[in-house]
Amino acid sequence: MAALLVALAVAPPSPPRARAEPSTPTTSDSTTTSRPARLSLVGRTREHWIYIDKPSLRKLTSDKYSLWAEIRSSEGDTIKLLMQMNCAERSYLVKSSVNYAEDGSVVDSRTPRSPSLQYVVPDSASEYIHKAICR
């Protein structure tokens, strides 16, 4: 998990293997339509795509937010993180994380009792998330 939030070299991405952009089908008057997914792409690195789950974004104080983020690797692995971002201090806590294999099965799940404070690293997944929510 920590490796995904460590500084990542920014370079043109190569597309993920056989993964389509998520979409949430909806039904209305027995007609199925497609609406935009919950996830919003906020950044890319050479090996990772960084998303935030917009409906999960909650303002806690004037400069603190809680949200779910998702980081997908070019190998097909995914990690979902429940984060608390402090915009003013450029810091965050990872309150919970779930790692998924390419087939969607859970590889690891953690919820630390006392999450450690981490700082936003330039050109990293955490910076993309920070820039997306701390405007």
- What pLDDT, on a 0 to 100 scale, did the predictor assign at position 99? 97
Residue 8 falls inside a structural domain? no
Contact (Cβ atoms closer than 8 angstroms) between residue 118 and residue 129 = no
The average pLDDT across 6-31 equals 40
- What pLDDT, on a 0 to 100 scale, did the predictor assign at position 32? 46
Residue 65 falls inside a structural domain? yes
Phi and psi at residue 114, in whole multiples of 5°?
-130, 90
Q: Which domain holds residue 114?
A: 32-133
CATH of the domain at 41: 2.40.128.710
Q: Is the pLDDT of residue 127 over 80?
A: yes
Residue 4 falls inside a structural domain? no
The average pLDDT across 17-32 equals 43
The CA-CA-CA angle for residues 14, 126, 73, to 5°, reads 30
Sign of CA dihedral 106, 130, 63, 52: negative
Residue whose pair of structure tokens reads 């909806």 in the numeric block: 26
Residue 123 falls inside a structural domain? yes
Residue 7 falls inside a structural domain? no
Q: How many domains does the chain have?
A: 1
The average pLDDT across 36-61 equals 92
Condensed to tens digits (0 to 9), the pLDDT of residues 68-124 reads 999 999 999 999 999 999 999 999 999 999 999 999 999 999 999 999 999 999 989
Residue 113 falls inside a structural domain? yes
Residue 120 falls inside a structural domain? yes
Residue 18 falls inside a structural domain? no
Total length of the chain? 135
